[in-house]
Structure 1
Amino acid sequence: MRAVTIQRFGDPSGMVVIDTSAAAAGPGQVVIDVEAIGVGGVDAVIRRGTLSGYGFSEGLIPGSEVAGTVTAVGADVDESWVGRRVWAFTGTSGGYADRAVAKVGDVVVLPGELTSIDAVTLGSAAPVAHFALAHAHHAPGESVLVRGAAGSIGIATVELAARAGASTIAVTTSSPERGNRLRGFGATHVLDRDGGGDSAGPLFYDVIIDIVGGAGLPAFIDSLAPNGRMVVVGVVAGLPPADFGMRLLAGFQQSRSIATFSLDTIAVPTRDAARAELFAAATRGELHAVVHDILPLEQAAEAHRQMDAGTVFGRIVLVP
């Protein structure tokens, strides 16, 4: 099979396409003939070599979500999976290939009306947005700020917050043009990357969903209302400063809080049920898969260059 591997961590030039042995299903796994591959921010973080603690090594096949057709199953897996169109989470690696292996518990059957490209645009992003808002205990009538809203997670968060009855949905993004596009998905106020730029917007927010992290995160703690909650779902700009918690202590009397969120903490049945409903919402036109570009597998490095440049609105999808 063909696969993209990281031959050298760092800039995208370290990614190359190789021919390698075909994927095979182990116990509890399925093999998928891949039709579409989602390119996510975490892929870029892994490729840069800045995600520690996972034991990644050169030769890694990046990618965590694919969509396609099941062609084989491993031991103890029902043969009826063969021939089904599915979305699948492949773990922290293995997705950038024309065949992929996934645990059967990480596979969801696709509605017939949903394309594979739309599936990998929403499959991880929409559940992260859904559960992050729940983790923040967002209630109707509360204000929301989405930091780094132009990616697939950010767009889904804006749409889901609007559906949930948020009173205000502010977004940070890099240009007025991107801000205007986000208004089309439910944003009411557009801020620059530092949180300024809209004098009519509120000064404080009940909920902040942060996809960016990095050195700018502490300043946004000051934008939390009393009893406000920040949930960090990504660190595409790197980890925040080690002393970022001092910002919380400085506003001690405001009773603000900050939390992280990962889908790994959600029980598989709950996660899969939510993902299936979000896919169904997309087929009804209530949730939108925003695709920035569709590139062949051989152009994975170009996809990463665009992400590093900050020019992506929505998600880039690779096709074998």
Structure 2
Amino acid sequence: MPMMICHAPEPGGPEALRFLDVERPHPAPDEVLIRVGAIGVNRLDAMQRAGVYPVPKGANPVLGVECGGEVIEVGAEVRDIVPGTRVAALLSGGGYAEYAVAHWRHVVAVPADWDDVRAASVIETYCTAHETLFELSRLAPGERVLIQAGASAVGSTAIRMAQHIGAEIVTTTGREEKARRLRDWGVRHVVNYREADFAESVREIYPDGIDVVEDFVGPAYLARHISLLRWRGRMAFVGLLSGGMAEMDVASVLTKMLQLRGFTLRPHSIEEKARIVERFRQRWMPVLARGEIEPVIHAVLPFEEAVEAHRMLEATDNFGKIILRV
């Protein structure tokens, strides 16, 4: 049975995306087949499309690492999931499609009152934010955290998580309208990095430093991040908005006993990813189901407008998640 996918047969800008009819996939014994209702658009999709994100060995080369939809078929080894279950799914690839397969331990059943758009907006973002803020950086109530790119999908999620546990937050954005919205959320310290040096601003707020940095920028900010961290500070590299190499003050890392950790979700093994999804299911799905945190959705576009979704993402127009509705 045919289905439509969106892929990038040649690297390029958003206009490189192409739609193609292919055969519908069949689930392996440990997989489920999902009728996709909505697709989460992530920066790694744009990087893969541009040819600067290598697809992990064995992963589906079609764009898309998360979706929301309905399970319509299950493999012989699948447990606790039956056809008709509505889910949020973490994928190795292949999400930009009308149907997708996922390992059964990489899907989470969603509340009955959730639509596919909401289901597609949470799993990649919340898994990434949880693993970097809490598993790697061990952010605790009352600690100080700098979250770069506070209006991005992962950045805005990290802010909501940090607020939920009672951390002290400093965040950055390059647009004043986004800064106003973050302040409306109750974030006291929002720095417009186009108007002020973020490191100097953070030092004015916390002269003795901060505990955790959630870094989406990379080399361009490394030296300043190390200088801001105080004794036993932790930093998680989550993205690379800047390229190239950076020099590091190793003496500061040693004397302050800092921990610098990198994270990317897609290359994890099936078993590792299953544990990540389970931590998300246990820690944050109840919070989301009770409405204590709401997914931040910037725009919902038809699947056929994937090119526009990528343009929107690369222009950093979004505050929160961009979703494609199938």
Per the TM alignment, residue 94 of structure 1 is displaced from its structure 2 partner at its CA by: 0.1
What is the rounded CA distance, in whole Å, between the counterparts of 1:49 and 1:288 in structure 2?
A: 33
Partner of 1:26: 28
Match of 1:228 among 206, 217, 233: 233
Alignment RMSD (CA, Å): 2.5
SS of residue paired to 1:216: helix
Distance 1:81 1:96, change over 3 A: same
Distance 1:274 1:96, change over 3 A: same
Match of 1:12 among 11, 14, 22: 14
> 1:179-213 CA deviation, whole Å, 9 max, x = no partner?
12122334221113352585752252110111232
Q: How does 1:1-320 map to 2 (within 5 A)?
A: 1-52=3-54, 54=56, 60-78=61-79, 81-91=82-92, 93-134=93-134, 135-166=136-167, 168-193=168-193, 194-195=197-198, 198=201, 201-203=205-207, 204-235=209-240, 237-239=241-243, 241-244=244-247, 246-249=248-251, 252-263=254-265, 264=268, 266=272, 268-269=274-275, 271-320=277-326
Conserved in 1, the CA contact under 8 Å of 2:6 and 2:20?
Answer: yes
Distance 1:190 1:138, change over 3 A: same
Distance 1:303 1:248, change over 3 A: farther
What is the rounded CA distance, in whole Å, between the counterparts of 1:196 and 1:176 in structure 2?
A: 18
Give the partner amino acid of 2:141. Answer: P
TM-score (norm 2): 0.87
What is the rounded CA distance, in whole Å, between the counterparts of 1:108 and 1:154 in structure 2?
A: 22
- Structure 1 unmatched ranges of 5 or more: none
What is the rounded CA distance, in whole Å, between the counterparts of 2:276 and 2:258 in structure 1?
A: 28
SS of residue paired to 2:140: coil
Question: What fraction of aligned residue pairs are identical, expressed as a percent?
Answer: 32
SS of residue paired to 2:308: helix
SS of residue paired to 1:19: strand
Conserved in 2, the CA contact under 8 Å of 1:113 and 1:283?
Answer: no
Per the TM alignment, residue 319 of structure 1 is displaced from its structure 2 partner at its CA by: 1.0
Distance 1:80 1:164, change over 3 A: closer
TM-score (norm 1): 0.89
